[in-house]
């Protein structure tokens, strides 16, 4: 996924909202249901809503993209087929069960789509690799501190609390870094390590692990929103003998 992809997806999500409002406007104008369910705008709305619902579900619950595509095809085909047959020349009672089943599924898709408008699931931005510090052998001779080598790793944590992939890594020899900077949605985040270094050095902790949550307040379309990103911080420290 390129850097511009999340912005394009957000643009298409909000663009689809105007198509839905157009369909609602046609409904208020009073044409028959038979005309509405056979219109291209209705079919396009069903495809868009289901596609974005599948995209949200696949990214949130780490589902395969192929499954999302198949679900979109089946769900849209079933709902459009049921709606067009149910409203063919009035309400056809033979298709009540079908319209209820596929309608409930499309209602779930609509709820997920509306949720996707306000929930940012952008993947972590690709960070420039931090400057690679020497292996510590040379720096050890220049520093008399107790730490010989360190390896700082930051992992993403999803909504279910499961640890994901490695997001940031900083390793090398002394001096110990005060912290590091992460890209934010609208501003950068400085993650301080000073307090953790004090605990690690004082207690001689070789493997340190703690949870980390970053909050960011943004203004989007006039609304104030708070982004919450959870991480897991691990620090491996090699002390001098």
Cα–Cα distance for residue pair 45/18, rounded to 1 Å: 10
Residue predicted with more confidence, 126 or 56: 56
Residue predicted with more confidence, 75 or 223: 75
Assign 120 to helix, strand or coil.
Answer: coil
Cα–Cα distance for residue pair 2/7, rounded to 1 Å: 10
Angle at 53 between CA 157 and CA 187, to 5 degrees: 45
Q: Tens digit of pLDDT for each residue in 143-188?
A: 567 888 899 999 999 888 888 888 899 888 888 889 888 877 666 7
Cα–Cα distance for residue pair 36/26, rounded to 1 Å: 7
Q: Tens digit of pLDDT for each residue in 92-150?
A: 888 899 999 999 999 999 898 888 887 654 444 444 444 443 333 333 334 567 888 89
pLDDT of residue 144: 61
């Amino acid at each position: 996924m390129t850097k511009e992809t999340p912005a394009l997806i957000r643009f298409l999500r909000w663009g689809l909202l105007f198509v839905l409002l157009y369909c609602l406007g046609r409904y208020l104008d009073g044409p028959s249901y038979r005309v509405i369910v056979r219109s291209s705008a209705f079919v396009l709305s069903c495809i868009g809503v289901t596609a974005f619902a599948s995209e949200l579900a696949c990214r949130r619950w780490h589902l395969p993209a192929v499954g999302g595509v198949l679900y979109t095809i089946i769900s849209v085909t079933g709902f459009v087929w049921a709606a067009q047959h149910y409203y063919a020349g009035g309400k056809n009672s033979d298709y009540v069960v079908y319209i209820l089943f596929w309608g409930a599924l499309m209602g779930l898709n609509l709820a997920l789509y509306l949720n996707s408008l306000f929930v940012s699931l952008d993947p972590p931005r690709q960070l420039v690799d931090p400057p690679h510090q020497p292996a510590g052998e040379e720096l050890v001779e220049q520093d008399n501190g107790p730490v010989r080598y360190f390896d700082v790793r930051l992992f993403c944590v999803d909504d279910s609390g499961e640890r994901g992939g490695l997001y940031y890594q900083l390793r090398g020899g002394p001096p110990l870094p005060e912290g590091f900077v992460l890209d934010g949605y609208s501003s950068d985040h400085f993650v301080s390590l000073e307090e953790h270094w004090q605990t690690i050095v004082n207690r001689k902790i070789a493997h340190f692990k703690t949870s980390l949550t970053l909050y960011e307040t943004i203004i989007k379309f006039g609304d104030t929103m708070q982004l919450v990103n959870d991480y897991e911080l691990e620090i491996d420290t090699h002390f001098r003998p």
